[in-house]
Structure 1
Amino acid sequence: MALTLNAVTIDPADHVNGVFRYDGSGTSWTQIRGPVASNGPFGGGWGTLVEGMGDETGTAFGYSGTPFDWFSVGEVGATYAVSDDTVYKTPRDGSRILQFDGFDGDTPLWNKVGDSGFLAVGGFSVVAQMPDFQGDTFLYSGNPNDWERIGPKGGAYAIADTVYRTDPLGNTVFRYTGSGIAWDNLGAPPRGVLQIFAGGFGLFATAADFSGVYQFQDAAGNWQRIGDHSASCAVTDDTVFRVARDMSVFQYDGFDDSWTPIGRPDRVLRLFVASD
């Protein structure tokens, strides 16, 4: 499953004015959507999800694969997670977790798969924080209403080959072992972490002291600085991208702190990856 880089752009007044897809080489980008709500977009193996604006406010949309061609998936939610094969959301009151199960004719089908929670991240499965358990971390089994507690509350999350989380203060990054509530302590860049990003190319973090983007080097506490600080990163199977201070985008060359500029469709606020 190939994931493509996408960019959320903003106008001079800092309002989201478009969603663009990177064409894969050089500095060429294709616009696929105009203004959307600042809550999102969200991407993953299933595709891209956005919340509408203007006359479409209150409706969530999925991307068809053709620029500016989007289909309604029903009412917007409070939190979302896009997994490899579907989308999850919580309603505005946070009373339950819903899974998108396609359509009955033109009617989007959302079925309850969990009690109240806050969706954190998606990938091969979906992770949620459950308020009834002080925000502890739960992993969805794939069977309706079957969630496994896998650890305490995290501050930030990412999913790739497994689940990653930080402690609530961002002092340490943990990697789920896949068993019970056992996690490996991976340490962190100096003075902690703001965000973590994961994908086939590896695990990355932005440092809490804004000192740069760091890559985990497969040994606890071994994080290598690979570039300047970024407000947003995105990881594919073969590289990582970051937003520079001037809101342009750079692609990592895979060694030291060498990056290649790949342009700026507009002022880029955030990056995410999604399938076509």
Structure 2
Amino acid sequence: MRSNIARRTGIRTATLAAIAVAAGLLVSGPAHADTGTYVNNGNATPTSTGTLGTGVGQKLTGAQMVQRALDWVSHNVSYNQGQSFSDAEVGGPYRTDCGGLVDMAWQLTSSPVVTTPSPGIDSSTYSTKLTSWSQLQPGDALAVAGEHINLFAGWINQSAGTFHYIAEDNPSVTTGEYSASTSDTSIDGYPKSSFELLRSNNLAPAIPAGFSVTANAQQDGSTVNLTSTVTANGYINYVNYVITGPGGYNQTFRAGGGPASPNTTGYAYTWNTNGLTAGTYSVQPVANEIDGADHSYAATGVTVAPSGGNRLYGLSSDKSAVSVWNGTGSGPGAWTVIGGAATQIYAGGFGLFATNPNDGSISKYNGTPGSWTVVGGPGATYAVSNDHLYGLSSDKSAVSVWNGTGSGPGAWTAIGGAATQIYAGGFGLFATNPNDGSISKYNGTPGSWTVVGGPGATYAVSNDHLYGLSSDKSAVSVWNGTGSGPGAWTAIGGAATQIYAGGFGLFATNPNDGSISKYNGTPGSWTVVGGPGATYAVGASSLYGISSDFSAVSTWTGSGTSWTAVGDSASEIAVGS
């Protein structure tokens, strides 16, 4: 039984299309330029086979093999052993005959003949022999030694033994799709008994049922360490993380290599959330698997806090331990000890840092209780922005930035000269001049600073502003963003003892009654939010304070002058990621 099913462009049977969909045939890989040299007496040039496969040297599925052969069917490729179709993106050149059709479908790098000279396509170099017709699956080949070869395209009804195959027969017909049956005595003009059944060595293994990829996200300050766990190895070419979130955020990042064994993590990517809009982001792993297709798996959520972070850290009253508030409650169980003795703690969007009382070195908290890394030696003071740690040398002769790794002199880069104090936040780094008291903004290049104002008592940096308290503490002002003279600053408030700023805004304490007020964004407009306190820390969306007698830590509820206790005594607090 031999019937021509389709030999013209666009004419494919519904049955074969159904088989293609069911087997996942309609999968397209990366597009490549058509480098073909084929001339077909007026018929259409075949598609670059690179658009239908997985690329040079990669395995492909039986479904893709059939799709590649169907391209020659749709383009009416004629039989001619004297010409070939070259596709450098995948392999070839492929002769336009029966063997070349299968060579092309199997994405071989060359175009061996059916059997002779050796090694032919039926040799172990290229294929494995099957022992039964029932073993056939899409992409296998039916070969007559030294004579002819066809591509098996799929079963019509396996129990009845009917199937489709694709063939390049002779110069009188173009590449076509045909049907046959295992009960036929001859197939494509050859005795059924003369056929050997071949499976390509380039066949990708079937992706197992239940195969899955699970995304993991571990946050460390503004850094999110993404990994994925797979249930089996050997089925993924690469993994992308597609991340979507507030403000139309939509980015795709290519991960690193996979895990060494199943059910362990791999495919790592470090995602920096600095400057992103606060909110919940969806991180979806999309795996390009051995079938050449992208497969999407369940997304995981990552909550990005407003720049500057919102995690509260505290140094015990005797400075013997550093702890982090767990987010609820106020007793000892509401806090977790994460570090030992410290002289001072510093925090911001870039994380938490603490200085050692024994040698003055500074260390970065790694996110796990007890895990800290020394990043530098002694310094006069430090400041943390959303993406950097800055330090002022012990003798205050130089300002430096930590390069992000290491702890020796080479781990820091000098970026400025002598300073009295440094201030940092989402808006950048600022330093005061010991000679004239002026304040300058770091421009991001070592040695490049711009004076932005004259002397002041103190300063505070939020995500988008620099605020200053006049030398006599009679007025609070905001830098307008350009210039350095009196016109570069706008008075926004009266006398204050101290000012504090962060993602949640600007706050100032009253020198008369010790109360603390929040700046409402309009010069002269402030709202009292609490009574006296020893000190405060501003986070991304919270204000925390230590009571005047240092016996309790509380957070402003956001309403009136109401505060909620979150902890017992502390010598100092800091807020960051």
Would the TM-score normalized by the shorter structure come out above 0.5? yes
Question: 209-218 or 103-112: which moved more?
Answer: 103-112
Q: Find the counterpart in structure 2 of residue 82 from structure 1.
A: 384
> 1: distance between equivalents of 2:357 and 2:434?
30
Q: Which of 478, 487, 495 is the aligned partner of 1:175?
A: 478
Q: Shift of residue 36 of structure 1?
A: 0.9
3-state SS of 1:25 partner? coil
Paired letter, 1:249: V
| 1:140 to 1:107, Cα distance in 2 relative to 1, 3 A | closer
TM-score by length of 2: 0.43
Q: Find the counterpart in structure 1 of residue 316 from structure 2.
A: 9
| 1:149 to 1:244, Cα distance in 2 relative to 1, 3 A | same
| Residue 149 in structure 1 maps to residue 451 in structure 2 | yes
Paired letter, 2:354: V
> 1: distance between equivalents of 2:489 and 2:407?
44
Q: Shift of residue 106 of structure 1?
A: 7.7
| 1:66 to 1:152, Cα distance in 2 relative to 1, 3 A | same
Q: Find the counterpart in structure 2 of residue 262 from structure 1.
A: 566
Is the strand fraction higher in 1 or 2? 1
Q: Which of 162, 181, 206 is the aligned partner of 2:465?
A: 162
Q: Find the counterpart in structure 2 of residue 67 from structure 1.
A: 369
CA contact (8 A) 1:79 1:118 kept: no
Q: Find the counterpart in structure 1 of residue 357 from structure 2.
A: 53
Give the superposed CA RMSD.
1.8
Runs of 4+ deviating beyond 3 Å: 104-108
Cα deviation, 1:25-44, whole Å, max 9, x if unaligned, reads: 2221111122112xx21111
> 2: distance between equivalents of 1:115 and 1:107?
16
Q: Which entry has the higher C-alpha Rg, 1 or 2?
A: 2
Please show how residues 11-26 of structure 1 align to structure 2 within 5 Å: 11=318, 16-26=319-329
Aligned residues: 261
Identical aligned pairs, as a percentage?
31
3-state SS of 1:131 partner? coil
Q: Shift of residue 108 of structure 1?
A: 5.6
Q: With CA pairs under 8 Å and 6+ residues apart, which has the higher RCO, 1 or 2?
A: 1
Cα deviation, 1:78-129, whole Å, max 9, x if unaligned, reads: 1221111111112222222111112369876111111111332111311100
3-state SS of 1:193 partner? coil
> 1: distance between equivalents of 2:544 and 2:445?
34
CA contact (8 A) 2:545 2:553 kept: yes
| 1:211 to 1:94, Cα distance in 2 relative to 1, 3 A | closer
Is the helix fraction higher in 1 or 2? 2
Cα deviation, 1:113-172, whole Å, max 9, x if unaligned, reads: 11111332111311100124x110001111111111000122121111211110122211
| 1:108 to 1:67, Cα distance in 2 relative to 1, 3 A | farther
Unaligned stretches of 5+ in structure 1?
A: none
CA contact (8 A) 2:313 2:325 kept: yes
CA contact (8 A) 1:231 1:270 kept: no
| 1:230 to 1:153, Cα distance in 2 relative to 1, 3 A | same
Q: Which of 472, 486, 504 is the aligned partner of 1:201?
A: 504
3-state SS of 1:194 partner? coil
Paired letter, 2:316: T
| Residue 97 in structure 1 maps to residue 399 in structure 2 | yes
